Amino acid sequence: MAEQGKKKLVEAITPMEIDFARWYTDVVINAELVEYTSVKGCLVIRPYGYAIWEHMQRIMDGMFKATGHENVCMPMFIPESLLQKEKDHVAGFAPEVAWVTHGGAEKLEERLCVRPTSETLFCEHYAHIVQSWRDLPKLYNQWVSVVRWEKTTRPFLRTREFLWQEGHTIHATAKEAIAETERMLGVYQTFFEETLAIPVVTGAKTESDKFAGAVTTLALEALMHDGKALQVGTSHYFGDGFAKAFGIQYTGKDNQLVHAFQTSWGTTTRMIGAVIMAHGDDSGLVLPPAVAPAQVVVIPIAAQKAGVMDTANTLTARLQSFCRAKIDASDNSPGWKFAQHEMQGVPIRLEIGPRDIEQQQCVLVRRDTRGKTIVPLAELEAVIPQMLQDVHDSLYAKALANQQNHTYRCTSLDEIRQTLRDNGDGFVYAMWCGDEACEDSVKEATGVGSRCIPYAQEQIAPTCVCCGKPAKHMVCWAKAY
RNA sequence: CGGGACGUGGCGAAGUUUGGUAUCGCGCUUGGUUUGGGACCAAGAUGCCGCAGGUUCGAAUCCUGUCGUCCCGACCA
């Protein structure tokens, strides 16, 4: 009874098993990542959520710089006539753009679209600055927000305004541009594995699922706890289609005037959603150490007892010389703090109280396993970095095991239905003839859609899972966000 | 954009059927006692009942519209 009274005080998180969607929203709110505003799909990213984004940004931006990219910043507005220049592109995006029609009280002669993506702006710019083969390549990236007037919205996963990075590169040859598309997919994959501890399936999108205006779209798909796929990054090869539409030509070494070849690639704040749904549990967020705003939280026990706060403060300063550490000196009870920092996914909790000080030790508790270790204070410099690495490694291993346990290989539509019913949602690997009608039929019949044609191809069967004609590819199918 | 649910101090709810003084719990503030898994006592503060119209002597409650949130579908990073 007393326990029941206590539980009522706890900010309830709906258990995943009961309702995964509610679990997700409970976590984003209770971990203080976002706050709703009065505009649908436009959320406040709160300091804790934004700090996670800043770490993602910092690390990824370093990877872009290391591969020779420069940051730029394009305007937010695109004149309608500019957006119209590439017909597939405009057809893809027109349904979800927001328009500016007035400046103050004056109606604009030409309405301006709020960028849903910036290909057209980059193209206009490239048309001006690219004249010679000596001007190529240009390897640009920008960190901005874009607006897409989505009908249904969910924090981080689908918002009307979202933060992202969009890389836009232009090259002399198709070969170079294709290599860039693949290289950046690889950069993303490394980032997901080594920074976010999330395994991904990489491959090409099918024709029907390509980016509007692209020749090919490469994508990274991650599997969430509920067995649904989340597209967490894309890398597009445009050929010279945009260059032709926008008149981007250069004079080659042979004095011939030719069109240039382009790419674009992007990742968004959706990655925060991926972290939540790939690592989180019923106590809240579980953050990979690389992007955790605090990697260690110090919790003084019996803080007003002589020496405790002094020791805790000194210890925190010491930790800060080799990791991101903070102290929770609020007057909440220790139990409250434990729950709060678990909710926020802090990788390691360090408890220090009178008993520990007497013994010159402290208690370390890992967020992911809740494993407790008593460690001599003198050994923290060695123990904590190792523990952070262990947390990362076991998060990755656990996510990978989850992905593998929920990856099914099927040879018929019935088998797909049966497997999903018996084992829950996940990735379904099955063969495909390449016909769009079959792609649609699979979705219709089983509920899973094509996510990508994985690079890691397997010969599961000689024939299409749907029509029985000779198969061209193995496709990764899944229910998706 | 279709189907369903819901908007009441910061949060979660009761009150709406049957119109009549705005309720409860948590949180917050101040003081004190506490502190190894969401502490306790005392005293306080906080409401245009989502918003706009309408009906009525009187609306949180009835009617119309609108905005937002959640869930399920179709579309999308």
**ipTM for the predicted complex:** 0.89
Domain ranges in chain A are 20-279, 294-390, 407-478
List beta partners, residue A296: A325, A348
Given this chain, do its domains A294-390 and A407-478 carry the same CATH topology? no
Task: Answer whether any strand B atom is within 7 A of the Cβ of A51.
Answer: no
DSSP assignment of A88-140 equals HHHHHHGGG-EEEEEETTEEEEEEEEEPSS-HHHHHHHHHHH--BGGG--EEE
Q: What is the model's pTM? A: 0.96
* Contact by Cβ (8 Å): A362, A377: yes
Task: Answer whether any strand B atom is within 7 A of the Cβ of A330.
Answer: no
Residue appearing with tokens 């067995």: A227
**Pairing outcome for strands A473-478 and A427-432:** antiparallel
Say which amino acid occupies A354: P
**CA within 13 Å, CB half, A24:** 18
Confirm or reject CATH 3.40.50.300 for domain A20-279, answering yes or no: no
b/e sequence A319-355, b meaning 16+ C-beta within 10 Å: beeebbbbbbeeeeeeeebbbbbbbbbbbbbbbbbee
Rounded to the nearest 10°, the torsion over CA A204, A208, A212, A216 is: 30
* Contact by Cβ (8 Å): A217, A203: no
Task: Answer whether any strand B atom is within 7 A of the Cβ of A153.
Answer: yes
pLDDT tens over chain A, length 481 residues: 223 333 333 456 888 888 888 889 889 999 999 998 878 899 999 999 999 999 999 999 999 999 999 999 999 999 999 999 998 899 888 888 998 888 887 888 999 999 999 999 999 999 999 999 999 999 999 999 999 999 889 999 999 999 999 999 999 999 999 999 999 999 999 999 999 999 999 999 999 999 999 999 999 999 999 999 999 999 999 999 999 999 999 999 999 999 999 999 999 999 999 999 999 999 999 999 999 999 999 999 999 898 999 999 999 999 999 999 999 999 899 999 999 999 999 999 999 999 999 999 999 999 999 999 999 999 999 999 999 999 999 999 999 999 999 999 999 999 999 999 999 999 999 999 999 999 999 998 999 999 999 999 999 999 999 999 999 999 999 999 8
CATH number belonging to the domain at A407-478, selected among 3.30.43.10, 3.40.50.300, 3.30.110.30, 3.30.9.10 = 3.30.110.30
* Contact by Cβ (8 Å): A86, A122: no
- A157-176 residues near strand B (Cβ < 7 Å): 157-160, 162, 164
Task: Answer whether any strand B atom is within 7 A of the Cβ of A360.
Answer: no
Would you identify the CATH topology of the domain A294-390? Rossmann fold (3.40.50)
A150 CA: nearest nucleotide by C1': B76
Looking at the C1' of nucleotide B27, which residue has the nearest alpha carbon? A9
Cα–Cα distance, A120 to A118 (Å, whole number): 5
Q: Which helix (H) or strand (E) holds A198?
A: none
Task: Answer whether any strand B atom is within 7 A of the Cβ of A55.
Answer: no
Residues found in chain A = 481
Longest Cα pair distance anywhere in chain A, in angstroms?
A: 86
A24 CA: nearest nucleotide by C1': B70
Cα–Cα distance, A347 to A248 (Å, whole number): 49
**Pairing outcome for strands A257-259 and A201-204:** unpaired
Question: Could you give phi then psi for residue A228, rounded to 5 degrees?
Answer: -100, 150
* Contact by Cβ (8 Å): A239, A174: yes
For residue A274 the two structure tokens come to 């991926």
Cα–Cα distance, A27 to A285 (Å, whole number): 7
* Contact by Cβ (8 Å): A463, A431: yes
Task: Answer whether any strand B atom is within 7 A of the Cβ of A2.
Answer: no
Say which amino acid occupies A410: C
pLDDT at A37: 84
Using a 10 angstrom Cβ sphere, with 0-12 exposed, 13-18 middle and 19 or more buried, the burial of residue A442 is buried
